[in-house]
Every structure is written in structure tokens, then in C-alpha cells.
Structure 1
Amino acid sequence: MRGVRPSVLILLTGLSACGDVPRPFDHTGDAYGQGWSRQLTRLATADAVTVEPPSDWPDAGAEAAALVQALHAQETPARIGTSGHGYRLTAVPQGDGLRWSLTEPGGAVISTFLQRRSVPAEAVAAALVPALDADRDRPLELRMKVGAAPAPVQAPAEVRPVRVTVAAPQSQQAEILRNAMESALKQTRVEVTREAGTPAVEVRGTLSLGALQQSGGAEALVPVAVVWTVVDAAGQDVGTARQENPVPKRLIETSFPMLAVAIAQAGAGGLGDVLDRIPGIARRAGVEGR
């Protein structure tokens, strides 16, 4: 595990003095200090479950709504829809009930459950959430969905530092996330530059915010997605790492620096795997490897 620089520790300690620090892009622990052991702590894909109302079924919308509420009670963000990223729950009639199928982001069915008419939605959620959590607990490198290099990367003529750029809905958000990622990369001993004229390997981040998700009395969530693309000094795409997560709206509006630190600290792990494909990345002496 990579070390944390004193400057970052000071930041986190200062925030902790005001209460527990939200860690929405950390895949372990309590995300928001409210006793939620799993909610919103996932890393690489949009972990909200999209529940599709079953076709050819009486009160299909009500069935889907009840299941969404049951998933919320199980600390799992969910919404009703017919399209979307992340996990999906679909159902087909079977006998006097519904056969629910839970599909992971890659399209594979990871669990099914037969809901008889007398079985409440809470039982469906209780049966499916363990499989959901087990799939979400895959190693960080897999959860980051790190893209494969399109071609073997040739060794550069000289050692290159890394330059971080970020595009975001607001320029202030872009600058905050850029600073956070630069700090996270420096913790791995990667040399970072902001000199525009310096030949460098570029880490290009794009932050996007989805439409507000509101369901019943649950806290409003905003889907946050960050795509990091690594481009070598010759302009060749080396690979990508993607992070997606629905987070409370209040974090974006009032605590974006905290959110940026969480994103950068988690994202640097996936980016490290991409940067390792490039010979000649400038690194500070003192620690072997990243």
C-alpha cells in the first residue's frame, strides 16, 4: 500500500476534527460516518442498481418501486429505469411469481431469485444484496476497469515527468481535482510538472456529473464519473482508468475538496498500473517501484 504524505494527513486530520470524513471512492469502511458499512463506497463502476419494471405484469411500476425502497433499506443505492450503467435487476414472469436476475456491469448474471406473489420485496433484496456486495469487493485493479494498451509502448529517448490536466463542469472543480491527483501521484514518487513546454506523459481527467437521483425520503444522489486517460510523450493513448459512483449532492456542493481527495487517492492506484506500462516515467528516488 502506498504511503500518505504528511500534507495529505494534515488535510484529513483537519477535516476529521469536524466529524467523520466521507470516503465515497474508498471501497472499504463506512463511507459517511453514519454506520453504513457498504453504501456508496464502491470504486470503479456505477454501483447504483437499476431496477427495470417487469413487462407483462400487473402493477409493474409498484413492484419496481418497492424493490428500490427495499434495496435502499439494505444500504444499496437503486433507481427505477430501463437503461443505465452499473448493476441491473430485471424480471420475467414465472408461474405465479417473478424470476429476478441481477446482472453485473459487464453483462453477466450473478444471482437470481424467484419472488412468489406472497413474498415481499424485502426478501428479494435480502437474497440478492450478498451477491451484489461480493461482486463489488473485487480487487481495486479490476474495479478500476483499466484499459489495455493499444500497442506495445516504446521506451522514450529520455525520462519524462507526468502532467495532469482535468476538464470539469466548473473550472474550480477542475483545479481542485487536478491538485488532488497531482498530490496523489507524488505520493507514489512520480515526478509531476505543470510546465506547458516540458515534454511529459499526460494524465487527462474528465469529470462529469449525472442527473440528480431522488427516491422517496432517501438523500439525493448525483452520479459522479471520472475518466483518466494516459497519453505518452508521443501522443499515443496508453490506457484508461474509469471511476463512477453516486454520491450525496451535498458533497459536491459543500465539500468538493474532500470528494476530490477521495477520488484522487483511489484513482491513483488504477493510474499507477497504466503508468507502469510506460518506460522512462520520472520518479523520485527513495522508494522502490511506484
Structure 2
Amino acid sequence: MKAFLRNFGLVVLILGPLGACGDLPRPFEGAGREGDPSLLELRDTGTVRVEGGDDLPEGAAAHLARAMARALRSREIPAYSDSAQGGDYILRPNVTAELIETGASVDVTWVLMRPDGLAIDTTSAHGQLAQDQWFAPTPTGPEEGDLAIPEELVDKVRDLGGITQDPEQETYDALVATSADKIAYMITGDRSALRTAPVMKVALVDFDGAPGDGDTALARSAGALLQAKGIQVDNADIGDHSVILSATTQVTPIDKSKSKTPADRVVIEWVIMDVDGNELGQMTQNNVVPHGSLDQRWGTIASLAAQAAVESLEGALGQIANRKKWLLRGDNKTTAAR
């Protein structure tokens, strides 16, 4: 399956050889809290450093980066492209281009990243550049000094100075406009334009492989925990605004030579998919339990495993909702979600 660029992978609480352990710990308690799922959460609005593309001529790359910086500034996000330093966020274009008779056909995928290189999200756009725009000279004038010049002020200064809009600049501005809207939304989380946005629904499907009542218990616990966080669970109406959460469990006896206490290793792989089966996020739990303890009833172990999974995957669900411009929660949030 084609994985989303920022698939959420997390291996949870892998225990060492049992021979060195005393009593077995409560399985899955705290599992899923290691690592830092908050890495996928966005900070408050900060400056954005827009980079030039490596797959464009130097002049075209500079014009594209400047156009995106202008577009973000017009959306009240401080952005610049004339420096390779700083930035609370880095915005990098990956460009695929095909030369055509009139110039070039381009596909631009913008990757929003943190300064440490963590990719947050992506958005793509398609357009065409005329031959003189594809081979445009590198701009020599300085970029606007004020990172947050309102668009209406820029237009007023241009009019007073008798400056006409550069057709070349207009083309690049049009190429980045839709992507800039999505990037601004990724950064600010401003949902003012999304009041009628659909609410994400999570369907719990294909819980499989667990002995005893494990599959039913895991699904029931995960559903209850998602609903407690204000996330809608709906297995009956799986549609365009649904994602699917599944869990595959494997329980295998641990080699007796490696443990003084008979035990089973339990591996649960949680996967988020879209309705077409494309993987959007995943995490794996790996733990041990006393041998045979899950052959019939899972009890609190199902609750602990589901709690760890939901806490870790909540960030991934939020990112999926942001990318698709859905609401993760409806207006009627639960107390726990608030």
C-alpha cells in the first residue's frame, strides 16, 4: 500500500530478555507513551523559510520561492526566501517538470518541515510556465523587508509608484496560490473557512488474530476511548469522510530456554487506512504476558493496549484530518476531549 509521506510508526515498549526479569510487569501499561507523538503537532505561527527547488533553473527556483513567500505573507504568515538561515518552519518544493513546446509543465509538491527535518505535511499543485518564465533570470532586487506586509498595502504602494504587476510574477503567484492556502491552514489551524467541513469518522474494521475474546475486546476498548476523546466512531456508514482503524494481533510462546517463566510475546499492529485501503499511519506494540493468560478473556489488558494505541495515534488522526480539511471532532466535544 502507498504510505502517506509522514506515516506514524512507533514501536512501543520492547522488553529485554525475560531471564533477567523478576515478576512480569502489567502488560501494555504505559505502552505507547514512549517516543513523542507530539512531534506531529504544530506550534503557534512562526516564521517560514521558503527554499528554492533543486529541479528548476536557478532563476525559476528563486521566483517560485519568492512567490510562495509573498503568498504566505498575504495570508498573515511571516515568510521569506532570501536567506538559507533560520525559520520556525522550512518549506521545500519538490518539482517534477516536463519540457513542452511552449515551456514547461510542472508538478510542485511543497513539504512543510520543522528545522530538525521532520516532515509535517505536504500539498501539491500543477501548472505551466512559458519558456521565458522557465528560463527567467534570477531576481536581483531585495525581497520585501517586512515579513508581514499586508497585501492591500503592497498594492497601494505599487499603484502610487506607477509600478505595474509583472506578468512573470503573476504566473508564479498563480502557481502557488492553492498550495499557500493549504500551508497556511496547516500552520495556523484556522478553521474559519472550514465551518461546513465534514467531521472525520473512524471505522473499526478487521480486528484479527487475537486468541480468546481479544479482537472484540480491543475493538470495543478502542472505540470507547476514541469516543471519549470526541472522535466519531461509525462502523455502519463508511463513506468518503471515513478512515479505517484495524488491529492485527499475533501471540507466540517465548522459547523456554530464554525465560525462566513461561510467557507469550504479544505483537499488535495498529493501522490507519483510507477507504481505498491506502495506509495512512501505523504503530506496533510488542509486549509479553504470562503464558496462556490471553487464551480466553483479555480483560484489562485490552483496555491498556487500546489506551496506549489511541493516545499515540490521535496525533496521526489529527494530521490526516488537517490534510483532508476535515474536522477531527465535531462541535459537541466531550469533557475528556476538551
Q: TM-score normalised to the size of structure 1? A: 0.47
Larger Rg: 2
Q: TM-score normalised to the size of structure 2? A: 0.41
